[in-house]
Amino acid sequence: MTVTTNTPVGFIGLGIMGAAMAKNLLKAGFKVTVHNRSRSKVEDLLAAGAIDGGSPAGVAAAAEVIIVCVPDTPDVEKVLFADDGAVHAIKHDAVVIDCSTISATATVGFEQRVRAKGAHLIDSPISGGPQGAIDGTLSCMIGGDAAIVDRCMPVFKAIGKTFTHIGGSGAGQLCKACNQLVNTATMMGVAEAFALAKKMNIDPYKVRAALMGGTAKSFILENHGKRLLDGTLAPGFRSNLMLKDIKLALAAGVECGSFMPATALGAQLLAALCSSGRGELDNASMGLLFEELSGVAR
């Protein structure tokens, strides 16, 4: 199978990221069949020109490339292997591209089960946030067979800008774990720095401006730092999802015996943040926890 814009594509999971990605596939000229648990999200995509698959199996029956973008490992397992799951109607030689962030170990097992049906599974977790999904500039961290990845590049190019084939099945998920632990560790540093500035009655906006001109400059400082200072903490990427991702990273470290003190601390801080009732806020809200524990009033 050669993938072109004439290749029918399926999309399962129309959240903040998935809906924007599906729309970009439509803009690129693909025929897209969609499914989502929330009907309103499906209606939005139908209005943009998509077709209603009705179920994961219905999407698989209509598509040769199926993208999955759902929150967690059990969600991927359900859309693939439940009674109405995609594998029950998947076409021979079809490709599933899983853009969710899930367990690497589970991904290897899912790939084997999909391959037993005569199809293929690529893991391609994404980074770039909601704006990257809207702009079609996502970074795709890809695991799986290189020839299958190459075959699907027209689809990848419709949703992203940077494509890195990391290695075999599960390698993309492990790379995403590395991405999330770096993001969390950096956010911890930004939150601590701003809390210190406020505690010492120094303007944190000026601190941020100074740091942006030096070696501390980062995407997290530039974007998440500003969101924290401005108090614009609607997600974005929710704190409870970042906690899920950091737990996945920590589990991978435990499994292979890697030393991960920053990740372990990040998991504790994110758990405390979610327990404080901020699980639905953007993960930049970690700074609020640092302020509270520092006795800094908002």
List pLDDT tens digits, range 123-157: 999 999 999 999 999 999 999 999 999 999 999 99
Mean pLDDT across the stretch 203-227?
Answer: 97
| CATH 3.40.50.720 residue spans of the chain | 9-168
pLDDT tier at 262, thresholds 50, 70, 90: very high
Give me Rg for the CA atoms of the chain: 20
Is residue 176 within 8 Å of residue 101, measured between CB atoms? yes
pLDDT of residue 52: 97
Mean pLDDT across the stretch 157-172?
Answer: 98
For residue 160, pLDDT beyond 90: yes
pLDDT tier at 5, thresholds 50, 70, 90: very high
Which residue type sits at 121? L
Integer angstrom CA distances of residue 119 from 65, 211, 226: 10, 49, 44
Compute the distance between CA of residue 292 and CA of residue 298 in angstroms, rounded to an integer: 9
pLDDT of residue 297: 84
Compute the distance between CA of residue 132 and CA of residue 140 in angstroms, rounded to an integer: 11
Task: For the chain, give the percent of residues with pLDDT over 90.
Answer: 97
What is the chain's mean pLDDT, rounded?
97
List pLDDT tens digits, range 43-67: 999 999 999 999 999 999 999 999 9
pLDDT of residue 250: 97
225-248 b/e with 16+ CB inside 10 Å = b?
bebbbeeebebbbbbbbbbbbbbb
| CATH 1.10.1040.10 residue spans of the chain | 175-293
Integer angstrom CA distances of residue 25 from 36, 160, 167: 16, 10, 25
pLDDT tier at 261, thresholds 50, 70, 90: very high
CB atoms within 10 A of CB 263: 24
Which residues, 6+ apart, have CB-to-CB distance to 53 below 8 Å?
A: 10, 12, 33, 34, 35, 59, 61, 62
Biggest distance spanned by C-alpha atoms of the chain: 64
For residue 86, pLDDT beyond 90: yes
Is 176 noted as a catalytic residue in this protein? yes
Specify the CATH architecture of the domain 9-168.
3-Layer(aba) Sandwich (3.40)
Tokens of 108: 């290897």
Sign for the pseudo-dihedral over CA of 131, 191, 272, 255: positive
Q: Strand (E) positions, 99-243?
A: 120-123, 126-127, 138-143, 160-167
CATH no., domain 175-293 = 1.10.1040.10
Among residues 91, 176, 198, 247, the one annotated as catalytic is 176
Compute the distance between CA of residue 110 and CA of residue 174 in angstroms, rounded to an integer: 15
pLDDT tier at 298, thresholds 50, 70, 90: confident
Which residue type sits at 95? V
For residue 92, pLDDT beyond 90: yes
Residue 81's Cβ-side half-sphere holds a number of Cα atoms within 13 Å equal to 16
1 vs 7, which has greater pLDDT?
Answer: 7
Mean pLDDT across the stretch 196-210?
Answer: 98
pLDDT of residue 1: 78
Is residue 124 within 8 Å of residue 67, measured between CB atoms? no
15-54 b/e with 16+ CB inside 10 Å = b?
bbbbbbbbbbbbebebbbbbbbeeeebbebbeeeebbbbe
Is residue 267 within 8 Å of residue 247, measured between CB atoms? yes
